[in-house]
Amino acid sequence: MPQLRASVLCLLCTFPVLLAATPASEPSQPAPNPVQALIEHYSTDRDLLATVYKDPLSPTTRARFQSFNAEWSRQLASVDFASLDQEGKVDYLLLKNHIAREQHGQALAAAQWKQVEPLLPIAADIFALEDARRSIERPDPEKTAALFTALSAKLAESRKALEKQPLDASARPSRIDAWRAADDLDQLRDQVKHWFDFYNGYDPIFSWWVQMPYKQLDTGMKDYATFLREKIAGVAADDKTTVVGTPVGRQALLDQLADEMIPYTPEELIAMARTEMDWCKRQMLLASREMGYGDDWHKALEAVKSHYVEPGKQPELIHTLALEGEQFVQKNQLVTVPDLAREGWTMEMMSPERQLVNPFFTGGDTISVSFPTDTMTFDQRRMSLRGNNISFAHATVFHELIPGHWLQEYSTMRYRPYRQLFSTGFWIEGNALYWEMVFWDHGFNTTPEQRVGALFWRMHRCARIIFSLEFHLGQMTPEQAIDLLVNDVGHERDNAIAEVRRSFNGSYDPLYQSAYLVGGMQFRALHRQLVDSGKMTDRQFNDAVLHENMMPLELLRALLTNQPLTPDYKPAWHFLNEIPAH
């Protein structure tokens, strides 16, 4: 649910109006602590720089943000940590950890760029153009025309050199590097267009000299990107099944796990996911037997998939299931649901294009419903109907709305909104997945068909950890990941392809797909520590989670348990040890 961050930012402008309408029964805003102002200042400055340095590939952009984070690291070190209260100490550690996360991300991006840079011989010249424009240095039209002509020639030479290389040449670029270079070249092409449009028509001499060479360069960049994708990466333009991604390697995964304050290795998380998958399959067998299919749970799953609403009625189903989820948490006194939150979400239908990477609905303030359209082939429609069946939807509509992503969004706009800077999938997706576990424990799934639907998604989360981490460790290919989803989880193949494509196409960071179940386990362990022990009620715990806003779960635990903290605090919460075995 990566849309949460953008939606939150978009809706901030309505905050005063919404707050005024908030019922008086909701908690008042907490008093600010000294570090809050630093975080707000950092966020404002960072957003400002992002409007000036827009190209993430540029060395200038990378250097500017490196110096920015280094300066803020020095400022933060000057704060008297011992004088802060618990909220202030947590905010200190949140900002410190965020800066480290940014620095790790910059280092990874620089390393990945270094791999593809030889395939993009014109990049340095394009970066220089943008640097000069930012400094308001008027270009020499005749020299620019000559430069663009030379850049077109460079691309042609690079293509000829690659075409001459034997397929088994050691120097030949890898499929992954070629694919990534093509994507980066698309960004460079957009940047050149923006640069050209800045001058074209406003400077008649510029247009006279540069217009034709620019068109030639634009065509050359487009053709070269196509060549890299089709001839080097081996993916044809009409290929809708092949998935290409970039494994980041074990050290990058360890760095990112450290940034998330998770003291486990990728291998330990994979082992946890396999154990959880085994439990899911045992539960699947119980439901399958109850449905009359014996130990062939695949047949039970097929029966569930065949039970879907007819075309045109999916919005009604989603609305009914959304109300059911709201009423369930209120009946069981699990979390506070303000009247305005119940009123404030909307629904839209997902486009066929977006369904290529999002085969299921997504949520937040708007639930986007994935369902077949009249533009799809017969097979595509059947797969979409089966993949969005009634039991699957029953298990996840509340994940997207209330008490899941929409209630998260509603709350994070109102309580400590400055902490939205520390958005993490382990909080966002982990909390929504935690609610799936809570609903299971409280008997929300009353029929074996509903339990099959819920278990399908739990197995899906297990598989996400396995295939995403093994892929980034270099132990699994995208094709093997697709097969895992089809054979071990029961996905429709087109839906499995879409799921793997969106996992590896760069839209998500390498740990995002692991965040669902791992974050859910963290919330489950924290609930056991605070609620099962009798220290808090369910409502108190779940309200506190929402009112403290987003952060790594280790620091949320430290905050809610008043754990002693130091400026050099290191993660040490082995939460898997605190969850009882199934």
How does pLDDT run along the chain (582 residues), one tens digit per residue?
444 433 333 333 333 333 333 343 455 566 678 899 999 999 999 999 999 999 999 999 999 999 999 999 999 999 999 999 999 999 999 999 999 999 999 999 999 999 999 999 999 999 999 999 999 999 999 999 999 999 999 999 999 999 998 766 677 888 899 999 999 999 999 999 999 999 999 999 999 999 999 999 999 999 999 999 999 998 888 877 788 888 999 999 999 999 999 999 999 999 999 999 999 999 999 999 999 999 999 999 999 999 998 888 888 999 999 999 999 999 999 999 999 999 999 888 877 666 665 656 677 778 877 777 777 787 878 877 888 899 999 999 999 999 999 999 999 999 999 999 999 999 999 999 999 999 999 999 999 999 999 999 999 999 999 999 999 999 999 999 999 999 999 988 888 998 898 888 777 899 999 999 999 999 999 999 999 999 999 999 999 999 999 999 999 999 999 999 999 999 999 999 988 776
Q: Is 10 part of a structural domain of the chain? A: no
- Listed in order, strand segments (DSSP E) in 325-396 are 346-349, 366-369
In a domain, 206, yes or no: yes
Q: Are residues 331 and 220 in the same domain?
A: no
Q: Do residue 226 and residue 256 come from a single domain?
A: no
Which candidate, 2, 5, 1, 3, places its Cα nearest to that of 549?
A: 5
pLDDT for the residue 367 = 83
3-class DSSP state of 362: strand
**CB-CB neighbours of 102 under 10 Å:** 18
Domain membership of residue 296 as a residue range: 250-578
* CB-based burial, 190-205: b 16+ in 10 Å, e otherwise: ebbeebbeebeeeeee
Nearest alpha-carbon partner for 492 in 363, 582, 365, 360:
360
Nearest to 41 by CA among 62, 71, 16, 15: 71
Rounded to 10°, the helix 250-259/266-291 angle is: 80
Nearest to 522 by CA among 404, 443, 462, 433: 433
Choosing from 232, 266, 283, the residue where a domain stops is 232
Q: Name every residue whose Cβ is closer than 8 Å to that of residue 313 and which is 6 or more positions away in sequence.
A: none
Look at the alpha carbons of 324, 328, 334, 336 in this order and tell me if their dihedral is positive or negative.
positive
| Strand, coil or helix: 347 | strand
Same-domain pairing of 177 and 280: no
Run of H or E residues at 35 = helix 34-52
Same domain assignment for residues 209 and 278: no
As a whole number of angstroms, the distance between CA 12 and CA 414 comes to 9
- My answer on whether 316 and 197 are in the same domain is no
Cα–Cα dist 458/273, whole Å = 10
Residues 195 and 292 in one domain: no
Establish if 36 belongs to a structural domain. Answer: no
What's at 508, amino acid-wise?
Answer: Y
Is the domain of 278 the same as that of 416? yes
| CA 421, chain centre distance (Å) | 15
Q: Are residues 140 and 262 in the same domain?
A: no
State how many domains the chain has. 2
Enter the tokens of residue 128. Answer: 């220089």
CA distance 324 to 303: 23
Q: Is the peptide bond before 448 cis (omega within 30 degrees of 0)?
A: no
- Residue 12 in any domain: the answer is no
Q: Do 457 and 511 fall into the same domain?
A: yes
> Do 293 and 422 sit in the same domain of this protein?
yes
Residue 364 lies in a domain: yes
C-alpha to C-alpha distance for 364 and 27, rounded to whole angstroms: 22
> How many residues does the structure list for the chain?
582
Domain-terminating residue out of 232, 264, 292: 232
Task: Specify the DSSP element, H or E, that contains 555.
Answer: helix 553-560
State whether 216 and 365 are in the same domain: no
Is residue 459 domain-resident? yes
Task: Give the per-residue pLDDT at 314.
Answer: 86
Any domain includes 165: yes
Amino acid letter, 86: Q
Q: Are residues 262 and 193 in the same domain?
A: no
State which of 179, 202, 232 marks the end of a domain.
232
Flag whether 243 is in a domain.
no
Q: State the Cα–Cα distance between residues 434 and 429, nearest whole angstrom.
A: 8
